[in-house]
Structure 1
C-alpha cells in the first residue's frame, strides 16, 4: 500500500510538472500563430481593402484554435455594431485565460486595438508592422526561454514527487 502511495505521489507531481511544461511550450506557438494572423490582417486591410468584420472572418477561417475563437468572437462583436478597439480589448479580457501568453505579450497585442478601424489603411498598416516587429523580437526571445523552462518544470515535477516520498518515508 505504501509503494502504491509513493507511485501515485510521484506520478501526480510529475504529471503536474509535465502539464506546466506543456503550457510553457505553447507560448511560442501561440505567438507564432498570432504573427501569422496579424500578417493576414494586414494583407486584408491594406491590399484587399476588406472591412474589419470580413477580415476577422478570413482570420477565423485561416487560423487555428485558440486564435480562431478569438477572431470569431471579434467578428460577431463588430457585426453587432461595437467599435473595433472596444471589442478587441474586451475580447482579450474575456479569452485571456485560454492562452498561455504572459502579460508582456498581452501588452503588445492590446496595442493593436487602439488604432484598429480608426484610421485609414496606411496608418493601420504602419501600426500593424510596428506590432509585428515587436512580437517577432518577443517570439525569438521566448523560443529559447520556453525550452529551458519546459525542461525545468518537467524535471521539477518528478523531483518534487520523489522529495515528497522521501519526506513521508
Structure 2
C-alpha cells in the first residue's frame, strides 16, 4: 500500500514540475510584451507628459501587473530624493531584487540594464531613441520566446510526467 502511495506522490510531483516549466515557457512572452508596453508608456510620459522619471516609473508601475509592477516601483523609489540613487543604481537594485520573480531571461535583463545607463543622462529626444531601441530589441526577444514556447511547452508537460513514470518503474 505504501508503495502505491509513494508512486502516486512521485508521479504527481513529476507532473507538477512539468506543468511549472511549461508555465514558465508560456509566461515569458507575455511578460516581455508587458515590458514593451511599459517602455512605450515611459516614452509617452517623457515626450508628451514632461513627467520626471521617478514619477513616470511609479505611475507606470501602478498600471502594470506583478512582478513588473514591483520592479518599476522599486526603481522609482530608489530615485526619490530620500534615496538619492542614480537611475542605473536604482534599476540595478530593482533588477537584483525582483528579476528572479519574472519568467524572463538574462537577455531581457541586459536590455533593461543598458537602457537604465542612458535614462536620465541625456536630452528627451535621445532618451526616446534609446527607449525605442530597447523596445525593438525586446520585440526580437519576444519572437524568440514565442518560438521556445511553441517548441518546448507541450514537451515540458509530457517530460515531467514521463520522467516521474520512469522513476516509478525503476523503483519497482
Same topology, TM > 0.5: yes
TM-score by length of 2: 0.93
Aligned residues: 169
8 Å CA contact retained: 2:25, 2:148: no
Question: CA offsets per residue over residues 16-59 of structure 1, 9 Å max, x none?
Answer: 11111112211111101100100000000111111011101211
Map 1:89-104 → 2, pairs under 5 A: 89-104=92-107
What is the Cα deviation at residue 83 of structure 1?
A: 0.9
Larger relative contact order (C-alpha < 8 A, sep ≥ 6)?
Answer: 1
Partner of 2:112: 109
Question: CA offsets per residue over residues 97-132 of structure 1, 9 Å max, x none?
Answer: 111111112111211111010011100000001111
What is the distance in 2 between the residues matched to 1:95 and 1:12? 27
Query: Which residue, 148, 154, 171 being the options, matches 1:168?
Result: 171
2:40 is aligned with 1:39: yes
8 Å CA contact retained: 1:85, 1:117: no
2:19 is aligned with 1:18: yes
What is the distance in 2 between the residues matched to 1:60 and 1:94? 15
Query: Which residue, 86, 89, 94 being the options, matches 1:86?
Result: 89
What is the Cα deviation at residue 3 of structure 1?
A: 2.1
RMSD (CA atoms): 1.1
8 Å CA contact retained: 2:18, 2:160: yes
Unpaired runs of at least 5, structure 1:
none
What is the distance in 2 between the residues matched to 1:125 and 1:153? 39
What is the distance in 1 between the residues matched to 2:67 and 2:17? 22
What is the distance in 2 between the residues matched to 1:54 and 1:127? 19
Partner of 1:74: 75
What is the distance in 2 between the residues matched to 1:113 and 1:126? 13
